[in-house]
Chain A
Amino acid sequence: QSVLTQPPSMSAAPGQKVTISCSGSSSNIGSNYVSWYQKLPETAPKLLIYENNKRPSGIPDRFSGSKSATSATLGITGLQTGDEADYYCGTWDDSLSAGVFGGGTKLTVL
């Protein structure tokens, strides 16, 4: 069981929008920045969002992040087949004094 809870899978059609949720607690999401990662098969994870809602250079604005209390959300608009991947949220947990990831969400673009 992961400390952060994500839906195991989601699907949407090309061109549509999807939002992936990440639920935690006051000791992790509630008191630390959240980041999001895209994991494609056979490749290293890629940082999509950091500090809750900032995009690194090179990440298109189709990707967005938000945080409210103890939950965070990754939004992807204008879905493309290349967006099919596993998505993970991550943050620090003050109670554990350790980093934590969500269990991951497998996104299928039908």
Chain B
Amino acid sequence: EVQVVESGGGLVQPGGSLRLSCAISGFIFNNYAVTWVRQAPEKGLEWVLSISNTDVTYYGESVKGRFTISRDKSKNTLHLQMNILRVEDTALYYCVLGGIGIHGLDPWGQGTLVAVSS
């Protein structure tokens, strides 16, 4: 069974940095796309960024230039480096296998909460 587990969330001040991790087990994820989706309080789902099966990266406009995704193939882990954090980045961040326009997003992790506040 494939399992997706996020970690690294927490409270950070505006302008600060945070690094999220996504550990995937039960699956050779090197050959598949991985996507991050977030949901701010009382808001809908927002596609944040993704990394393709060939390690091509795509970023949403709201995070471009501030967030960076990378894949550690030896550890089946994905890292999301978030810099210059803003209050509006406050959300529950989900890591999920797949590409949204291809085979859909599944399975999802339980999410990790990022709160940006002074």
Q: Name A residues whose Cβ lies closer than 8 Å to a Cβ of B.
A: 2, 32-33, 35, 37, 39, 44-47, 49-51, 56, 86, 88, 90-92, 96-104
Asked whether any CB of chain A lies closer than 8 Å to the CB of B23, the reply is no
- Checking A49, A91, A104 against B45 with a beta-carbon cut-off of 8 angstroms, the contacting residue is A104
Q: Are B58 and A98 in contact (CB under 8 A)?
A: yes
Q: How far is the CA of A49 from the CA of B61 in the complex (A)?
A: 26
**CA–CA, A96 to B61, complex, Å?**
9
> Closest 9 CB pairs between A and B?
A92-B101, A50-B104, A99-B47, A35-B104, A47-B106, A99-B100, A32-B101, A44-B108, A104-B44
| Chain B residues positioned under 8 Å from A92 (CB to CB) | 99-102
B29 within 8 A of A: no
Instruction: Check: B37 CB closer than 8 A to any chain A CB.
Output: yes
- A-B CB pair tally, cutoff 8 Å: 80
When chains A and B are docked, how far (Å) is the Cα of A64 from the Cα of B29?
Answer: 28
Consensus secondary structure, chain B interface: loop
B residues in contact with A104, CB < 8 Å: 44-45
Q: Is B16 an interface residue (CB 8 A)?
A: no
**A35/B105 in contact, CB under 8 A:** yes
Q: Tell me the minimal C-beta distance from A44 to chain B in angstroms.
A: 4
Contact B45 A98 (CB under 8 A): no
A110 to chain B, nearest CB (A): 23
Bound CA–CA A35/B102 (angstroms)? 9
Question: Is B104 touching A101 in the complex (CB atoms < 8 A)?
Answer: no
| A37–B105 CB distance below 8 A | yes
Q: Is the CB of B47 within 8 A of A45?
A: no
Q: Determine if B103 is an interface residue (Cβ-Cβ < 8 Å).
A: yes
CB distance from B58 to the nearest CB of A (A): 6
Query: Are B108 and A100 in contact (CB-based, < 8 A)?
Result: no
B94 within 8 Å of A by Cβ?
yes
Chain B residues numbered 47-99 whose CB sits less than 8 Å from any CB in chain A: 47, 50, 58-61, 94, 96, 99
